Structure 1
Amino acid sequence: MENAIEVKGMQKIFGEHTAINKVSFNVKQGEIFGFLGPSGSGKTTTVKVLTGELKQTVGDVKVLGIDSENFGSSAFKSQVGILSDNSSLYERLTIYDNLKLFCKLYGAPLKQIDVVLREVNLHDERSKIVSTLSKGMKQRVLLAKALIHNPKLVFLDEPTSALDPGNMAHIHRGLQKLNEAGTTIFLTTHNMEEATELCDRVAFLHNGELQELDSPNSLRYKYSTHAFHVETFKGNRLVIDNQPDQADQIRDLIANGEIKAMHTDNPTLGQIFLKVTGKELE
């Protein structure tokens, strides 16, 4: 199976409002796919359709080869992990006891608890009551819950929100390790640096429609002016067009030892997103 997710002509209509408008895309087996959009773009609605929480109005949707009509089946649920704004925990139980319950629910071995707790950097906190945890710690428990049954495909909605830089880096390493082992990851995030670091491809969603879909590097190249940005030792900052008739200027700067730093214009994903959609991520 080449694609973990296949979406063709998907629409989702609520009354007179079209939340998703004829969206088509594939997520390849084994990739980390970033799904980015400002609030109200239809991002959450799309994820809910892909996980079976909502039914599309029009179009074909397949996840792991399973048609959307069968998203409620045990075959689907056993292969998919979900961290969303609807994910919840038992507040009066410990971290360990929460995960023990989810092991029983998914038929996962109890030894998997230690594995996922190390992945989210909570192994030493396993006896803490969930109600006493910070928002960031609860987020990491929810991530552990999504991974407890070793799913083939994981939907992660803002998995590192509320995390400090150290724990964020730890989670990133864990997700990369998980992906290297073959797990496909569908990631929504407002952190463009996170998307750039983790994702093989990213999709920009705006007003219910896909605006762009490509690898971060390809998008950065596409929207680059390719001009050279030069900083000299005298503190001057120059922008030189990447054109043959500008070669002498660059050559002279190099020959005179004036260049302190030089790079081509490569916009960030955030800058590209703002240009494409006219909006910041919220």
Structure 2
Amino acid sequence: MINVKNLFHSYNKDGKFAVKDVSFEVKEGEIFGFLGPSGAGKSTTQNILTGLLQLQQGEVSVVGYDVKTISNKMFNQIGMSFEQSNVYSKMTAKENLDFYRKLFDVETREPEELLELVGLGDKANIRAGEFSKGMKHRLTFARSMINNPRLWFLDEPTTGLDPAIASEIKDIIREENKKGVTIFLTTHNMHIADELCDRVAFIVDGEIKLIDSPRNLKLQYGNKLVEVEYIKEGETIKETLSTIQEEDIKQLQDIIGKYEVQTMHTKEATLEEIFIKVTGRGLE
């Protein structure tokens, strides 16, 4: 669905690159996370993929179309939900979607259906200018689905949403993916990436550091530890032991054999901890 080879981009054309020799591919039907801190090159790459920035150097194809010669046929097949909402304030929610659907040459979804889906069904006839930031974000999210995109670009899709609504948005993403929609998720939120993504790319200072599945990254970079609580001489003892160091393995076997174990579970590193370990950078 997406093929990128040796992508470079400089805003001032002064030899300083916002994106440096970036190469990756996104397979049909997967959720691909593009992860990094602010200023890492996420938005620059995404804007080139969606035609908002002109390709300077490299090869990029999106849903089979070369972005050097973008056509309306490509836009018919992609959807884009921006982090910063850009709805028309003087139009109602329904009017916003009615206007946008006319831009496409393909069958579109009904505005009422989409507004209901994102929890704005009772706000259809209210001007978007009266919406809160979170409501505008949901309207932008709904709008990105109106043309039934094969490839769906999501930029920080849960930003500014309360936990309950964010959970609903994640459920919608999962359901659309089950229908075969390929998703390119741009975020610095490692929790949503861990929950949703089949594979992730870590990008820092315009360069991709690695690409892999969250599971593989945890197995490769995560600490192989087990936390065990047990009763010893009437006291509850809690220990964290390695599952690969012989001394700790023997100690764990002794605990299981001699004492009453109350709880025992493995401990894995978070995606955020792995990102910091791999890149040496935080996410802010």
Same fold flag (TM > 0.5): yes
Cα distance in 1 between the residues matched to 2:88 and 2:242 = 59
Matching residue of 1:38:
37
Given candidates 117, 120, 123, the residue that maps to 2:118 is: 120
Q: Mean Cα displacement is larger for which, 259-268 or 44-53?
A: 259-268
- Write the letter of the residue equivalent to 1:279: R
Equivalent runs, 1:1-282 vs 2, <5 Å: 4-14=1-11, 15-16=13-14, 17-71=16-70, 73-85=71-83, 88-107=86-105, 112-233=110-231, 234-282=236-284
| CA deviation map 1:132-166 (0-9, x unaligned) | 11100100000111111111111111111000011
- Write the letter of the residue equivalent to 1:238: T
8 A Cα contact 1:202 1:213, kept in partner: yes
Cα distance in 1 between the residues matched to 2:268 and 2:144 = 35
Q: Return closer, same or farther for 1:101/1:39 CA change in 2, 3 Å cut-off.
A: same
Cα distance in 2 between the residues matched to 1:28 and 1:83 = 20
| CA deviation map 1:255-277 (0-9, x unaligned) | 23443333334110010111122
Alignment root-mean-square deviation, CA: 1.8
Cα distance in 1 between the residues matched to 2:91 and 2:170 = 27
How far is 1:105 from its partner?
1.8
How far is 1:84 from its partner?
2.0
SS in 2 for 1:18: coil
Q: TM-score, normalised by structure 1?
A: 0.92
8 A Cα contact 2:202 2:275, kept in partner: yes
Flag structure 2 segments of 5+ consecutive residues without an equivalent.
Answer: none
Cα distance in 1 between the residues matched to 2:162 and 2:51 = 32
SS in 1 for 2:95: helix
How far is 1:248 from its partner?
3.0
Cα distance in 1 between the residues matched to 2:49 and 2:259 = 56
Q: How many residues align?
A: 278
Q: TM-score, normalised by structure 2?
A: 0.92
| CA deviation map 1:42-93 (0-9, x unaligned) | 111000111111123221100011001222x110111111122465111011
Q: Return closer, same or farther for 1:111/1:53 CA change in 2, 3 Å cut-off.
A: closer
Flag structure 1 segments of 5+ consecutive residues without an equivalent.
Answer: none
SS in 1 for 2:154: strand
Q: Return closer, same or farther for 1:86/1:51 CA change in 2, 3 Å cut-off.
A: farther
Cα distance in 1 between the residues matched to 2:157 and 2:106 = 22
SS in 2 for 1:90: coil
- Write the letter of the residue equivalent to 1:136: G
